[in-house]
Amino acid sequence: MNEITQIHLGRQQFTIAVDAHRSLRTYLDQISKQVGGESDVMDEIEMRMAELLTTRGVTGEKVVLKGDVDYLREQLGEPKDFGDQTDETVAAPDDNLQRQLYRDTSDAVLGGVASGLAAYLAIPVWLVRVMFVVFALAWGSSIIVYILLWLLLPEAKTPSDRLHMQGKPVNVDTLRNFVAQTPLRENAKEIGDKAEAVVTTTGPVLLRWGQKLFDVARVVIGAVLLILGVTGMIYVIGMGSYVLANPDKLFEVGRLFPVGATETALLVLAFVAAELVALLVAVVGLGFVKRRWPLPVWLTAGIISLLLAAVAIGIPAGVAVAPHVADRYNATAWHDTVSTTSYTSLGTLNLPERTRLEYEVAPAYDVTFMGHGQYDKSQLKATVTDGKLSIDAGNYRDATKCSDLCIRTDNLTVIVHAPQVPTNFDQYIPRVGEAFVPDGPDMPMYRYRSNASTW
């Protein structure tokens, strides 16, 4: 039977056997004497001891025994061995130790993700930050990755965490060396160990200007993302409200989507997902400007979860709905043929934009008009004067029915039928290899189509 007592070690309370307490007290006194009684070093050593005991399972009502103190000695080393190594040797990473991935908030611009990855991969932190910015501007994918890593990676709160992050052993010597190298830990976010070393040695002016340029770039990028995000949120809300209130005006040919409660719900889901993406872009921008993440972790996790759920539900639902929308579009198709007398060339063509003009060999002379949606048959005209075919379809439908927010889906196709191709067809349809291009950006889109073997 052992007597027990209560102690505080690294701000944590432990129940310890009396003999173990005597051994631990002796060990701490030896360490204090060896490190010159530095309070910061002793605080870090006690925190490391508490961490080791917790990892060993000594928590709650469990008692610290003599064997646990011997375990601490094995992990932290014997006092007589302290100080035998040089600072360079102590600070060097151990290849046999596996680095652990943390967020390094001591050198953070936002959440310390980039600096933590840089320490884990043993590469310059600026390289990781540049990669995040490039991918964010190019595809936006790194924004989601950064937020997920921010939520999932633990923060390196103690010197032990930072030593683990750098692949260094955690013992009294490395802790003492770490404390000695970071006398300004309270200002680490503003200065950083590397910046402090450079400022006090070489290139102070260049470093200061580089830091200022980096801060300016960070604020500018954040402001751009914030503006884009807020603008996107406003646009999505306005567009969503208009479309849900006017579903019949979404497509030029009539109501194709949404039809029914299921498709309406799918459309709402799409707008919700777009709104969440815009919100995340705005929040990331605000985080860049303020140099800290502006939302609580639980709220960020909730937004990302909603976005992922919307995508997971919306993609298969959209794939299932697409064939029905295509069937509705095909059901609006129409064609009308106007017979004419014989002709040898083309005359005046009055055709709307996005018209496709084709020629097809046929024994009779006529013109076929093809399109989708409602149209005015009286406005489809094909006349022959002095052997020249003139086509007028410029007003075949009311263009005012499709607003600026309308999706234009009614491309008119005009097929000219005749035994021989009109002699001046090349005037309207320049040929480049197998492709046909219009005469200019504002011209109708003309092209050949012929069943004749000579074409």
Backbone φ/ψ region at 295: left (φ over 0), alpha (ψ -120 to 50), beta = beta
Summarize the confidence of residues 359-369 as an average pLDDT.
91
Share of the chain above pLDDT 90, in %: 21
Instruction: Tell me the average pLDDT across 273-297.
Output: 86
Say what the pLDDT of residue 178 is.
Answer: 66
Give residue-wise pLDDT tens across range 259-279. 999 999 999 999 999 999 999
Each residue of 60-98: pLDDT tens digit?
Answer: 778 888 888 888 888 887 776 665 544 444 445 555 567
Please tell me the predicted confidence (pLDDT) of residue 404.
Answer: 60
Q: pLDDT at position 403, please?
A: 61
Binning pLDDT at 50, 70 and 90, where does residue 446 land? very low
Higher pLDDT, 298 or 158: 298
More confident call, 93 vs 428: 428
Decide which of 288 and 385 is more confident: 385
In terms of Cα–Cα distance, which of 233, 234, 243, 238 is closest to 264?
243
Give domain limits for the chain: 4-82, 89-202, 211-331, 333-446
- Residues of the chain with pLDDT > 70, as a percent, come to 77
Note the pLDDT tens digit of each residue in 367-379. Answer: 999 988 888 888 8
pLDDT surpassing 80 at residue 20 = yes
Provide the pLDDT confidence category of residue 13 given band limits of 50, 70 and 90: confident
pLDDT of residue 435: 36
pLDDT for the residue 405: 63
CA distance 378 to 376: 5
Question: Which one has a higher pLDDT value, 29 or 138?
Answer: 29
Of 71, 53, 65, give the one whose Cα is nearest residue 21: 65
Element (H, E) at 391: strand 388-392
* Of residues 158, 48, 153, the one with CA closest to residue 101: 153
Identify the sign of the CA torsion 27, 33, 36, 37.
Answer: positive
**Per-residue pLDDT for 27 more than 90?**
no
In the predicted model, what is the mean pLDDT of residues 195-208?
Answer: 51
As a whole number of angstroms, the distance between CA 404 and CA 407 comes to 8
| Radius of gyration, alpha carbons of the chain | 37
Q: What is the DSSP string of 42-99?
A: HHHHHHHHHHHHHHTT--TT-EE-HHHHHHHHHHH--GGGTT-S-HHHHHSPPTTSPP
For residue 112, name the pLDDT band (cuts at 50, 70, 90).
confident
Mean pLDDT to the nearest integer, 197-214:
58
pTM given for the model: 0.53
Instruction: Output the average pLDDT for the chain.
Output: 78
Which of the pair, 195 or 403, is modelled with greater confidence? 403
- Tell me the two tokens of residue 3: 């007597």
Return the pLDDT at 339: 94
Report the candidate in 79, 86, 69 with the shortest Cα–Cα distance to residue 34.
79
Instruction: Summarize the confidence of residues 171-175 as an average pLDDT.
Output: 69
pLDDT at 176 over 70: no
